[in-house]
Amino acid sequence: MERQFQKDRVKGQKQYAIYISHPQRWMRYHYALNNPYLYTDPNGEDVVIYSRPSGGGKMGPDTKLPDMGHLFIYVRNDETGESAYFDYYVQDGYTILGKVDEDRLKNHASLTVETSADQEQAILNGIKEMQETAPNYDLIPNDRNGISTCTNTAVGLLNKGGINPGDFGNRHIPKYVWESLFKQNAPNQTQKQTNYTGNVWHEKTIVPAEVGRSYGKDPNGSSRRVDPSAVNNRELRFRDGKRQN
């Protein structure tokens, strides 16, 4: 099927080889890793953006700066079944690639983005590279490694997969990235707010971000459940780019 209907012969052959090399995909039940309820994915939407709003002026943990919110991602390749989370933050002087659990999901809103297997694999490869060496989490620009936060690092991974939230310069704040991706991928779920000021009616687009709620096309609510098969299912600590555990 892949070779017959793919216009690009080389790409079709590649897809066919991947299909043949993974017998789990030949039956729907086994394709879903023996758990079709949890891993059903009829629309091929396998990148999820998770966002938590700012702390409302509260100081962020270990940053000595106001909490600007948080953003992390999940990706799963339909063709291979491989999946990973990318949750990047600072704690006790270490840069952390964290293990995601149910509490983490409950404290974030989620946005499901439609992607192809090639896009998913590109992001997965980027995540796996960072499991070996990760830049220091750094909110303050400096001569050594500049700004490195959950948001701009996640945006860099998304860009590898052809997902472009937009150019925010150094203002990679979770809210801005969330709103940009939301308008691209779930425009029908935005809300309109009309205000009357200065004898003029003003219409504003409101992007929701209710924690614990999923947005985009997520009919089975899979973005609200932890994927136990994700390759990075434990916390990794880094300092000066070197893994400490």
Statement to judge: residues 13 and 114 lie in one domain: no
Residues 74 and 154 grouped into a single domain: yes
Residue 33: the pLDDT is: 47
Contacts of 44 (CB under 8 A, 6+ apart): 78, 114, 115, 116
Band (pLDDT 50/70/90 cuts) for residue 30 is very low
More confident: 236 or 41: 236
What pTM does this model have? 0.77
Show the tokens assigned to 229: 């098969």
**Could you tell me if 106 and 19 lie in one domain?**
no
Q: Do 24 and 48 fall within a single domain?
A: no
- Give me the mean pLDDT over the 14-42 stretch: 51
84 close to 110: Cβ distance less than 8 angstroms: no
Helices 150-160 and 174-185: crossing angle in degrees, nearest 10, is 30
Q: What is the mean pLDDT of residues 21-49?
A: 55
What per-residue confidence (pLDDT) applies to 138?
Answer: 82
Mean pLDDT of 64-78: 85
Residues 49 and 146 in one domain: yes
The answer, yes or no, to whether residue 170 has pLDDT greater than 70, is no
Could you give the percent of the chain with pLDDT greater than 90?
A: 43
Rounded to whole angstroms, the Cα distance separating 112 from 213 reads: 11
* Domain contains 76: yes
Q: Is residue 38 part of a domain?
A: no
- The per-residue pLDDT for 12 is 59
Q: Do 235 and 118 belong to one domain? A: yes
* Alpha-carbon gap, residue 160 to 152, rounded angstroms: 13
Going by their DSSP bridges, the two strands 83-86 and 70-76 should be labelled as antiparallel
Same domain? 54 vs 6: no
Kindly state whether residues 61 and 87 are assigned to the same domain.
yes
Domain encompassing residue 65: 43-243
Q: At what angle do helices 150-160 and 117-130 cross, to 10 degrees?
A: 140
Residue 29, pLDDT score: 44
Both 93 and 140 in one domain: the answer is: yes
Tens of pLDDT, residues 192-220:
888 777 777 778 888 999 999 999 988 88
> 190 lies in a domain?
yes
57 pLDDT tier (thresholds 50, 70, 90):
low
Q: Same structural domain for residues 22 and 55?
A: no
- 2 or 63, which is more confident? 63
What pLDDT digit, counting tens, does each position of 13-22 carry? 655 565 555 5
Dihedral pair phi/psi, residue 144, rounded to 5°: -85, -55
pLDDT at position 100, please? 94
pLDDT classification of 86: cutoffs 50, 70, 90: very high
Query: Is residue 128 domain-resident?
Result: yes
Question: Would 117 be classed as within a structural domain?
Answer: yes
pLDDT of res. 144? 47
The dihedral region occupied by 215, where left means phi > 0, alpha psi between -120 and 50, and beta the remainder, is: beta
Residue 36 counted as domain residue: no
Using alpha carbons only, how large is the chain's radius of gyration in Å?
19
Does 83 share its domain with 175?
yes
Q: What is the pLDDT of residues 109-164, one digit of tens each?
A: 999 999 999 999 999 999 999 998 998 888 765 544 557 788 889 999 999 999 99
In a domain, 188, yes or no: yes
Domain count, the chain: 2
Say if residue 62 is in the same domain as residue 24.
no
Nearest to 160 by CA among 119, 117, 131: 119
Whether residue 61 lies inside any domain: the answer is yes
